[in-house]
């Protein structure tokens, strides 16, 4: 049976919602405190389809990464933070071959992939970020030139991990420009190596200090990948869509789901291989 509400109760509720919704405005920057700790969980699922010599090939990747972030100091207009990749699991398949890795398994850490990840897993890296979440001082790159293997190469190519100067910490923040109201739109763009991303945001709703954003955009990839001694030139355009919730008072993301749907080609050894990809990334951020 559906509940029946009297008109006065409904009107009072609407008034309270309206007051509550308009009570909060974005500060337009991130607000962190010294000693604050944050955990970032990223779960990426991707399906890449290729067509080569009339044969359809499908590559699937399911990767989960956990980063621990700590605020070490607050400067006048920036923060000194540390970021540590504490856990990585992957589960993928390509051409009938399974590719798995779990950083919590001793045998996996002793494998070739594990050995190449030892200077990345549980290694704390220091970064300075501005109040608008831009990297001022990047995380130091690993001195190791050893490839992390086919699986990790694919994950880095999908997530931009090869050029992430924040060591994963940047995904914890989502800045809403100050003064934005429900229905307002804004846009930004980023260039990470050979990946250009153009985003358009809409402030969809506000509940207390939590805002819900809608995201649409486009990503353009034009990059060279080295795999198994071959140089592969990947060109792809992808449409982006998603939604996320963010704390207006701090600029800290709560959760975001982003999907990309792309088409392009991979040029290798004089051949152009048509390819498409569908990727969904769910990012969850919590204070610890």
With a cut of 70, say whether residue 158 has pLDDT above it.
Answer: no
pLDDT band for position 156 (cuts 50, 70, 90): low
pLDDT band for position 21 (cuts 50, 70, 90): very low
Residues 6+ apart with CB under 8 A from 153: 147, 225, 227
Q: Where are the chain's structural domains?
A: 28-287
Nearest CA-CA partner of 42 in 89, 93, 92: 89
* pTM, two decimal places: 0.83
* CATH class of the domain defined by 28-287: mainly beta
pLDDT for the residue 94: 80
The average pLDDT across 20-26 equals 52
Neighbours of 65 (CB within 10 A): 22
Q: What is the pLDDT of residues 190-203, one digit of tens each?
A: 887 788 999 999 99
- The strand pairing partners of 44, in sequence order, are 63, 281
With a cut of 90, say whether residue 154 has pLDDT above it.
Answer: no
């Amino acid at each position: 049976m559906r509940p029946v509400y009297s008109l006065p109760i409904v009107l009072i509720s609407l008034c309270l919602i309206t007051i509550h919704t308009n009570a909060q405005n974005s500060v337009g920057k991130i607000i962190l405190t010294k000693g604050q700790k944050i955990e970032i969980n990223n779960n990426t699922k991707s399906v890449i389809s290729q067509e080569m010599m009339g044969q359809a090939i499908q590559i699937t990747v399911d990767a989960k990464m956990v980063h621990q972030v700590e605020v070490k100091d607050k400067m006048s207009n920036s923060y000194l933070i540390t970021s540590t990749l504490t856990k990585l699991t992957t589960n993928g398949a390509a051409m009938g071959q399974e590719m798995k890795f779990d950083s919590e398994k001793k045998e996996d850490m002793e494998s070739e992939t594990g050995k190449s990840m030892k200077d990345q897993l549980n290694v704390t890296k220091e970064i300075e970020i501005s109040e608008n979440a831009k990297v001022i001082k990047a995380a130091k790159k690993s001195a190791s030139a050893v490839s992390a293997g086919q699986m990790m190469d694919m994950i880095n190519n999908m997530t931009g991990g090869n050029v992430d100067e924040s060591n994963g910490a940047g995904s914890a923040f989502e800045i809403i420009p100050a003064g934005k109201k429900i229905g307002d739109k804004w846009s930004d763009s980023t260039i990470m190596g050979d990946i250009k991303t153009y985003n358009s945001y809409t402030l969809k709703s506000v509940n207390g200090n939590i805002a819900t954003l809608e995201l649409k955009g486009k990503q353009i990839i034009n990059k060279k990948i080295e795999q198994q001694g071959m140089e592969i030139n990947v060109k792809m355009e992808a449409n982006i869509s998603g939604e996320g919730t963010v704390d207006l008072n701090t600029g800290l993301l709560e959760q975001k789901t982003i999907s990309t749907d792309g088409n392009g080609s991979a040029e290798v050894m004089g051949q152009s291989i048509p390819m498409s990809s569908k990727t969904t990334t769910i990012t969850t951020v919590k204070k610890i």
